Amino acid sequence: MEWRLIWERFREHKAGLWGLWAVLAIALIAIFAPAIGAALGLDPYAQDILLRYAPPGNGHPLGTDEAGRDFLIRLIYGAQVSVGVAVLSTVASMIVGVIIGAIAGYYGGLWDAFLMRFTDALLSLPLLPVLILLAAMDFAKLPGLGLFFADGDASLTKMVLIFVLFSWMTVARLVRGQILQLKEMEFVTAARSLGMRDARIILRHVLPSVLPAVIVAVSLAVGQTILFESALSFLGLGIQPPLASWGNMLNNGLETLSAAPMLVFLPGFCILVVVVAFNFIGDGLQHALDPKSVKR
Amino acid sequence: MNFIVRRVAQTLFVLVLMSFVSYAMMALMPGDPLDIACAANPRCNPENILEMKRQLGLDRPIPERFVKWAAAAVQGDLGYSRTYQRPVTEILWPRLLNSMWLGLLSSFVALVVAIPLGILVGVMPRKKIDYIVNMFCFVGVSSPSFWLGLMFIYLFSVQLGWLPAGGVQTVDGMEDLSGWAAVLDRLKYMILPVLTLTLLTIAGWVRQTRSAMIEVMSMDYIRTARAKGLAPVQVILKHGVRNAMLPVVTVVALGLSGVFSGAVITETVFAYNGVGKLLYDSILGNDYNVAMCAFVVSCAGVLIASLVADLCYAMLDPRIKLK
């Protein structure tokens, strides 16, 4: 489908458009977080034990948190981490899913049976308990991986890795199903009779037709990943302080609730807004990419 | 019958595999219990640890240890809890019951609200009420449950002081409560967790029911039913709902997994002593015997629920043969 046409149809979907603007705005804020911090003279990691739970004002636009750090700049840096981790791991898992789905669907037979059994097994697991277990693991103890998880931001790498491991399955099944149908089509037979290599047929002729469905699935998956990351970080198993994520800012939620309820409300509200925005985009994309869908 | 046997065998296989993988993963957790015990004792040296590990069989390869653990677990010996200093079975049962009550109550509430609401907006898409309900559902499936729980605590416990912020039952003066008073006391503690759980479930289930209803109501046989002069209510209930419920049953059955596996986040936020909170606490506390069992129970809950979902689907849909 042509990009102009897709954009025209996407624009018809008002909620999707709102979602897109919201995500773009948040992405801009996240990207320019250091610049904003410098402009306001705020540091997300500077603690001031004497200034815990300070009310808004006095150089701290939204007050300070339980360690006396400026809340506004932590919220902004939190956007970087929360949205960044989700987008990164979703895109990576999409690539994994497309590859596995394409192999299973295109080659069929034993490959298909093995890969799809594996996919089904992973899909049947209770996601949250498994994620908690994985997040609690010390990855540095794994042979060969110690190097990647030795530095201070290890929790970031770990989160992305965990989410990639456990979110490629939907895309893989989607791609496989589509390719199973497509590979019987004449244009694939034609390409094969021209002597094209498998990789080229998959990349040039089959994948473009699968892409719309994958894009929709991915935009919906970003929201889910943000929710899971924030839940893990809330439990203290995800992104580790001093790094700020919207989830781990609520880590002390129960204690903070009586001292400064705003500090509990805002991070969660940010999560809500971003996830709603991504879900709206997914809805809008579905409308734009699926010719059969009717405007609601 | 063949289908059922195969499906049950598959579930058991995944469960055993899962237990093994999680058993192996526990070995990769930070904080070895023996190291912790040793660190507390000034006279302990590295040779002591090695000797202890040898005596306890901890120097054996993981597969061998797993087989021993599994053999004991099947016979009802789940080991001993490090933090609670009691056998795991004693800890697990009350937690399981707590989780089941919470899960049953919230599933029931969600079911009673979500299905009728979904049918209602499904038969009148693009009306004002549809937009309102749809909006609510979008927010529902997008809100982080722990935040929702915290907000409820703030509103109903901190500000209004109507409900307890967490726990399972009143601890002080429990001896005086009996019969209905005790039940009511426990219900009071369940209101907020149930509210949190149901809001999220309702949002998902309404969306499912709604889209299933919309799809079914556009079918030819609905038009036929209308054309032969059936009352609209009859068309909706007898021809529409019955067919639309097929996919919904699966989703609902899957949702029931929480009845057994517990809700980790909600239970943790409200300090509700269920399996979910047990899993979380034991993983954080390096209590591996407990963590193992809580994890396997959680997995089993979800696997059984998806098994039930598949069987329901096969039984309700005559197009799928059980053979």
The CA distance from A100 to A112, in Å, is 9
Binary contact (B154, A236; C-beta < 8 A): no
Reduce the DSSP state of residue A64 to 3 states and report it: strand
Q: Do B60 and B112 reside in the same domain of the chain?
A: no
Upstream peptide bond of A242 is cis (omega within 30 degrees of 0):
yes
Q: Check CB contact of B25 with chain A, cutoff 8 Å.
A: yes
User: What pLDDT shows up at residue A24?
Assistant: 93
CB neighbour list of residue A125: distance below 8 Å, 6 or more residues apart: B14, B18, B299, B302
Asked if residue B214 and residue B113 are part of one domain, the reply reads yes
**Is B250 part of the contact surface with chain A (CB cutoff 8 Å)?**
no
Q: Which two tokens stand for residue A114?
A: 């093995």
Q: What is the residue-level pLDDT of chain A in tens, covering all 296 positions?
A: 577 888 888 888 888 889 999 999 999 988 888 888 777 777 777 777 777 777 777 777 777 777 778 778 888 888 988 999 999 999 999 999 999 998 998 888 898 888 988 888 888 777 888 888 888 877 766 666 655 555 556 788 888 999 998 889 989 998 998 888 888 888 888 888 888 888 888 888 888 888 888 888 888 899 999 999 999 999 888 888 788 888 888 887 777 787 788 888 889 999 999 999 999 998 888 888 876 654 44
- The Cα B118–Cα A294 span in angstroms is 19
pLDDT digits (tens, 9 = 90+) for B270-304: 888 888 888 888 888 878 888 888 888 888 888 88
Other residues' Cβ atoms within 10 Å of the Cβ of residue A113: 11
Answer whether B153 touches A (CB < 8 Å). yes
Contacts of B181 (CB under 8 A, 6+ apart): none
In a domain, B205, yes or no: yes
Q: Is residue B63 part of a domain?
A: yes
Distance from CA of B192 to the nearest CA of A (A): 15
Q: Which of B18, B28, B132, B257 to mutate: most A Cβ within 10 Å?
A: B28
Q: Is there a single domain that holds both residue B65 and residue B127?
A: no
- Model pLDDT, residue B323: 46
Give pLDDT tens digits for A18-76: 999 999 999 998 888 888 877 777 777 777 777 777 777 777 777 777 777 877 888 88
Q: Answer whether A272 sits within 8 Å of B30, measured CB to CB.
A: no
Q: How many Å lie between the alpha carbon of B143 and the closest alpha carbon of chain A?
A: 5
Domain count, chain A: 1
Does any CB of chain B come closer than 8 Å to the CB of residue A263? no
Cβ proximity of B231 and B203 under 8 Å? no
Residue A19: Cβ-neighbour burial (10 angstroms; 0-12, 13-18, 19+) = buried
Closest-approach residue (CA) in chain A for B127? A296
Query: Would you say residue B99 lies in a domain?
Result: yes
Contact B151 A264 (CB under 8 A): yes
Q: Which domain holds residue B208?
A: 89-154+196-316
User: Which residue blocks in A41-194 are alpha helix, DSSP H?
Assistant: 71-107, 109-123, 127-136, 154-165, 169-182, 186-193
CB A136 to CB B298 under 8 A?
A: no
- The kind and range of the H/E element at B57 are none
Indicate whether this complex's ipTM tops 0.95.
no
- Residue ranges of chain B with per-residue pLDDT less than 70: 1, 28, 30-31, 33, 171-178, 258-262, 320-323
Same domain, B66 and B96: no
Indicate whether B173 belongs to any domain.
Answer: no
Contact criterion met (CB < 8 Å) for B280 and A132: yes
Q: What is the pLDDT of residue B211?
A: 86
Is B84 part of a structural domain of the chain? no
Residue-range definition of the domain harbouring residue A7: 3-34+68-293
The reply to whether residue A272 touches residue B144, judged by beta carbons under 8 angstroms, is yes
Quick check: is A274 in a domain?
A: yes
At A97 the pLDDT is 93
C-alpha–C-alpha distance, residues B90 and B78, integer Å: 10
Please report, for the domain that includes residue A103, its CATH number: 1.10.3720.10
Secondary structure (3-state) at A189: helix
- Tell me how far CA of residue B126 lies from CA of A250, B130, B241, B277, in angstroms: 37, 6, 19, 41
Cβ contacts of A139 on chain B, cutoff 8 Å:
28
Q: How far apart are CA B202 and CA B200, in angstroms?
A: 6
pTM surpassing 0.80? yes
